[in-house]
């Protein structure tokens, strides 16, 4: 039953991405193009999507962490390390560069696969290749004890 519920939640999330226009890279790039403000082509609508997501997350975190344990798990798995390292800084930087260059991030790219666009297929293939490369690099390097579990991809 939990797999069906999780699938339904993912489907709802994907539907929200499509309705909000997050799976349309042109809409995302128009939002990120601040130089287009004087020309009138800047699209601020995704700021409202982000604000809505932040509001839902704030409420959701309050509700979830008031529970003694997660619904689909035995305990909450939260990071205990607080220092910044190269992985924590480089990951968001790479994410931001990819989002700014092509207008896709992972969730919306997967929803755009449903449209069968070449851009979505290329992006997801490149993203999966990058994830496999990152996995092989992490598995080759000795891991310092940071208090966080080793990432599993």
- pLDDT tens-place string over residues 47-89: 898 899 899 999 999 999 899 998 888 888 888 888 888 888 8
pLDDT value of residue 121: 93
Number of domains in the chain: 1
List alpha helices for the chain, DSSP H: 2-20, 25-32, 45-65, 86-102, 106-113, 118-140
Residue 36 has a pLDDT of 77
Please state, in angstroms and rounded to a whole number, the distance separating the CA atoms of residues 112 and 126: 15
- Considering the domain boundaries, does residue 150 fall inside one? no
| pLDDT(25) > 80 | yes
Residue 61 burial class via C-beta count within 10 angstroms: exposed 0-12, middle 13-18, buried 19 and up: exposed
- Residue 153 resides in a domain: no
In a domain, 56, yes or no: yes
CA distance 65 to 29: 35
- Give the model's confidence band at 18: pLDDT under 50 very low, under 70 low, under 90 confident, else very high: confident
Indicate whether 151 belongs to any domain: no
Q: Are 123 and 101 in contact (CB under 8 A)?
A: no
Residue 124's domain comprises 2-140
> Is residue 100, in this structure, part of any structural domain at all?
yes
């Amino acid at each position: 039953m939990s797999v069906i519920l999780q699938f339904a939640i993912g489907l709802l999330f994907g539907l929200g991405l499509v309705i909000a226009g997050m799976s349309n890279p042109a809409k995302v790039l128009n939002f990120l193009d601040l130089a287009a403000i004087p020309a009138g082509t800047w699209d601020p609508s995704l700021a409202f999507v982000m604000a809505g997501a932040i509001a839902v997350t704030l409420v959701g975190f309050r509700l979830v962490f008031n529970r003694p344990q997660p619904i689909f798990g035995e305990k909450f798995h939260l990071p205990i390390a607080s220092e910044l390292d190269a992985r924590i800084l480089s990951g968001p930087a790479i994410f931001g560069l990819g989002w700014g260059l092509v207008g896709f991030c992972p969730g919306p790219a997967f929803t755009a696969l449903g449209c069968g666009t070449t851009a979505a297929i290329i992006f997801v293939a490149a993203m999966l290749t990058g994830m496999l490369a990152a996995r092989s690099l992490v598995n080759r390097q000795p891991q310092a004890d940071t208090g966080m579990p080793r990432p599993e991809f």
